Structures are given as C-alpha cells and as structure tokens.
Amino acid sequence: MAKQKPRTLSGFMELLPGPQQQMERIMEILRTTYSLYGFTALDTPIIESSEVLLAKGGGDTEKQIYRFEKGDSDLSLRFDLTVPLAKYVAIHYGQLQFPFRRYQIGKVYRGERAQRGRFREFYQADIDIIGDGKLDIINEAEIPSIIYRTFSQLGLERFQIRVNNRKVLNGFYAMVGLEAQSQDIMRTVDKLDKIGADKVKSLLIEELDVTEETADQVLHFIAIQGSNQEVLVALEDYRGKNELFDTGLDELSTVVKYLAAFGVPEANFAVDLTIARGLDYYTGTVYETTMLDHPEIGSICSGGRYDNLAEYYTDKQLPGVGISIGLTRLFYVLGEQGMLNPNLPVAPADVLVIPMGDEQQGYAIATATRLREAGIRTQLYAEQKKFKARITYASKMEIPYALFLGETEEQEQVVALKDLNKGEQVTVPFSEAVQLIQAGITAANQGKVIQE
C-alpha cells in the first residue's frame, strides 16, 4: 500500500509525552490559581460565524484569520478569547451575575508567517472581570495579585509586573496639547528602550511635528523613574491641570496602595510610565509582565482595563479588566531557555507492575487494581518480553518504581518493590509498598515547573 508521509503543519505545536506532561502541569496550575480568585471556567466554540467574530472589522488581525465557507455559512476560527467573551456576555447577559469573572484556556488561530517560536495555533489563558455599567478600581488592583500568584506557583521568581494607567498618559498628553496625536506619540515613545531618548525626540519633532519644548516635556515625563512611591510623588507635580490625569493618578495610587494587602512584593511590581499597550481599547490600568533575565522575550502576561467589552453586539455598557498569557509561546520560550524543571516526574505512571510469569498474571492484575484504588498511577506490564526488556521499558519511560511479582511473592502475599532511581529493592507487604511509593511520589513532585 502506498503510504502518505505523515507530518504536522508548521506553526502547530505538537509535544512529545514528557514535555506534554509539563504543559498539563502548567495548565492545572493556571486553572487552580484562577479558581482561587473566583473565576469561573468557560469554553466557547473555536468556530464562529464570520459576521459575528469580525463585527469589529479591519485591523491587522483580519488578514490572518482562518476563514472559510461550509455549506452556505461563512465561518471563521477565533483569533483570540476576548471577542468570543464579548459575544458570550452579550448573548447570556440576562443569565449572568455581574461582576462576571471568567477564565478561559483555549486554542486560538492566526495564520501568521511561520517562523521559529511563532505559532498559528496557540493557547491563550485569559481572565476577565466584567462589570455591568460600572466596575470598581479595586478589581484593577487585584490583577497584579493574580499575575503574581500565577507565576510564583509556576516557579518563576525573577519577574516584574509593570503597570501604568492610560488616563495618566492621555491626561498628560492633553496637558501638553498633544491630545489628538496621543496614539502616534505613544507608539513612538514605546521605542524608547530600543532606540534611546535622543532618537525618540528627533522622531517626535520631525515626524510628528511636536515642538522641541513639548518633546522635552514628553521625554521628561516618561523618564520619571524610581520606587513606586517616588513615581507617584513625581506624578503629583502634574495634578490639577487635567481632570483625566487626576483620575488616572488616583487609580494608579489605589492600585499601588493595596499591593501589600494583595500579597504582591514590591520587588515584583513597578509603576512604569513607558507601558502603553498597543491596543486602543484600553482606558485605565494597563499591565505587562517581563522576565527580568529575559527582557528580549517581551511581555509574558499583558492586559488592562477597558470601558466597553461588547459594544459591537449590545448597547449595554460593559466595562472590564483582563489579562492574557500566550501560553504556547511562553512554553516554547521556557523550553528554549532550559527553564522547564527536568527533575519533575514526566512518566505517565508511578509504578510498573511486572508479573514474573504467566501464573502471576492474576496476582499482578489484582495488585495493580489495589494500587489504583490507593490513587497510585499504575501501569501493568503485560507483554511477553524478557525481564531485561521490561526493566528497560520502565527506565526509558522514567517510571520511578517497579513491582516484581513472582511465585514466592504471590505465595507470601508480598511484593518486591524496586526504586529504579536509587536501584534499591525491598520485599514488603502491599500496604508498606503503597506508603513507600506515595512518599516517593510526594517528594518527587515537590519542585516547581519553572526553574531559574
């Protein structure tokens, strides 16, 4: 028979079992952490009607959409989890309670040019808090706490949550008469890290027709640095000149004020006036999260406050705040940087049960059943292979324990338990084997997924 060469499309992540186990662990930690903050799980379709999904229209994203016809339906694959959330809230508005807090971890699709580390199918892990008409600033203050706990639980320590407020930025630009150009200016200022202050100044003057004096004011403003308190104090100098600015400064101060109560250490948080986020729908607090030792990776968790989640679907005013982790890319980067803890178990089973002869098949099966009842992940090795091949299998699978069951063991109703990492073997009653295995598994699972 002629064979079709099997392949996986480029830009689509498909992991081997070991790395997949790490990915599963990360997803489990995300689910648990988001749940701790009262977010409910949602799952929306991957396919939506194009007219619904693309109601907002335009933008860079549209070219990348996977869009196709099926029958007489014009369909598209979702390219993020925010538009489906807007649709969901608009449809189910009457059945939801607000604030509505949801998390969703799901695949999204963008037909980008394939290149290393770029994915066309990738997981996003999103949380959003949606208010009905209003949403208190405390929700914006809570977000850094969720980011902090999420990455801490994953094992990351050297990261910084960088926070700004769009009202502060827009208010400032209004003060200096650049209100109409604020989007263009923010895009230019965003290049500060890359091209330096002098070049930013030139661009402002030459390309955006800003006067030299105003350009200096802009550079002076975004150069404000220091501890959170120092930045807030410096911003107070601008108070009283623009109402929007003052509101933004109050919000930013509130976010900083409750950091400690929310359990976020100062070391993992910074007010950073250079953060703007590209998307123009953010209207309040904005967040980026960077790995201190890998600034080149960019933000690993971003988001912000917006005023109107579902304006394309409903007249209801639905303000919200949300953040998103690009999980597939993060996982890829962690792997590339060697930051996935290799000491965590990735074997699919904790114990391999090996009958020494056909006569012990029944005893082996009954023992495997009892192990599973004790919550131990157990694989029964049933193949007719030489003893050495069985041990090789366990060791290649990195299964930590093997249980040998021969005639003697069955007669005496004991088990021969081998710790395959230490190479030590003991013959013990079943209950003792369970305790040894459970203790071993607990110890092996102590570490965190990410190691720095």
Residues 111-140 binding a second copy (CB under 8 A) are 111, 120-121, 131, 134-136, 138-139
- Contact between 400 and a second copy by CB under 8 A: the answer reads no
Query: In the bound complex, what is the minimum distance in angstroms from residue 130's beta carbon to a second copy?
Result: 12
Which residue in 26, 30, 79, 88 binds a second copy (CB under 8 A)? 88
Least Å distance, CB 282 to a second copy, is 19
CB 367 within 8 A of CB 62: no
The upper half-sphere exposure of residue 47, i.e. CA atoms within 13 Å in the direction of its Cβ, equals 7
Which residues, in sequence order, are CB contacts of 88 under 8 Å at separation 6+? 42, 44
Query: Is 73 buried (19+), middle (13-18) or exposed (0-12) by CB count in 10 A?
Result: exposed
Is 310 a binder of a second copy (CB under 8 A)?
Answer: yes
Nearer to a second copy, 219 or 374 (CB): 374
Residue 405 near residue 381, CB atoms below 8 Å = no
User: In the structure encoding, which two tokens stand for residue 450, read together?
Assistant: 């990410």
Angstrom distance (rounded) from CA 277 to CA 141: 18
> Rg (Cα) of the chain, in Å, rounded?
28
Q: Which is nearer to a second copy, 59 or 177 (CB)?
A: 59
Q: Is 8 in the site for a second copy (CB under 8 A)?
A: yes
Q: Does 427 bind a second copy (CB under 8 A)?
A: no
Q: Which of residues 336-395 bind a second copy (CB under 8 A)?
A: 348-349, 352, 361-362, 365-366, 369, 372-373, 375-380, 382-384, 393
Binding residue for a second copy, selected from 26, 29, 127, 142, defined by CB under 8 A: 142
Tokens encoding 63 = 């070219």
> Which helix (H) or strand (E) covers residue 352, if one does?
strand 351-355
- With CB under 8 A as the contact rule, the residue among 62, 75, 80, 436 that binds a second copy is 75
Does position 442 interact with a second copy (CB under 8 A)? The reply is: no
Nearer to a second copy, 396 or 422 (CB): 396
Contact with a second copy (CB under 8 A): which of 26, 29, 30, 39? 39
C-alpha span between 311 and 56 (Å, rounded)? 9
Which 235-274 residues touch a second copy, going by CB under 8 A? 258, 261-263
Backbone angles phi and psi of 364, in degrees to 5? -65, -45
* Cα separation, 46 vs 247, whole angstroms: 39
Count of positions on this chain that bind a second copy (CB under 8 A): 102
